[in-house]
Amino acid sequence: MAKVIIFAGGFGSGKSELAINYALDRSQYAENIILADLDLVNPYFASRYVRDLLEASGIRVLAPAGDLSCGDVPGLPPEIIGFLRGNDEIIIDVAGDEVGSMVLGYLSRYIKDSDYQLYLVLNPYRPFAQDLDSVMELRLLLEGAARLTFTGLISNPNLMGETNPEMIRNGHQIVSDYAQAMRLPVCHLTVEEKFYHDLVCEYGTILQTITLYLKPEWMQ
């Protein structure tokens, strides 16, 4: 049985960064790690653009090829179904919109038979996650199309270069309030390494560090 970890979220949520970080972390402890980049909407912050880094760590990358690599229709890599029927560990990066729901809906019959976790990644400083109604709408869209239920939220509050510890605290409280209303656990609070020591005493093991591999050139 495959083990499947799905990171879903809208533009600016940071789901692709989380998928990359998770895959790299798991590759230190397990073989046969696969990262399926099925975000067919956003061509600028996609997991497939660090393919060389991932493959150097022994991670197999599945992504749409050629003209479909940045398309707006679900052009899925054909190998994905075979891997979902196997015994590999598969990390899926999928958009939190109509296209993302189509992708999950198509794959749901195979994901249901796996050991899966479906995470909704939330950055409350992005427009789609600034109020509970928007977040609930996103949840219903994805769960309805995929016929899968979310297993938890990941809190990723940031404003890129303007992020500071107080902003993280305030944003995480917003996500925690969403989680309570949605009756879902907050599984992780993700921050850059430079914020870890300021926050770890408050949040403990829920706090996880990430590296920004998809940082725009102007922020390098």
What does the pLDDT read at residue 49?
Answer: 77
Q: Which residues of the chain have pLDDT under 70?
A: 40-46, 65-75, 215-220
Q: What is the domain partition of the chain in residue ranges?
A: 3-219
Which regions of the chain does DSSP assign to beta strands (E)? 3-9, 33-37, 60-62, 89-95, 115-122, 152-155, 186-192, 207-210
Architecture of domain 3-219: 3-Layer(aba) Sandwich (3.40)
Tell me if residue 39 falls in helix, strand or coil: coil
Token pair in block for residue 64: 């749409």
Cβ proximity of 212 and 190 under 8 Å: no
The pLDDT, as a whole number, for residue 43 is 54
For 60, the token pair is: 């197999």
pLDDT at residue 216 in the model: 54
Q: List strand residue ranges (DSSP E) for 40-128, in order.
A: 60-62, 89-95, 115-122
pLDDT attached to residue 202: 96
pLDDT at position 65:
66
Q: Please state, in angstroms and as integers, the Cα–Cα distance from residue 178 to each residue in 12, 67, 149, 194, 203, following that order.
A: 18, 38, 16, 26, 17
Note the pLDDT tens digit of each residue in 19-49.
999 999 999 988 889 999 887 665 556 677 7
Q: And the tokens for 16? A: 């692709």
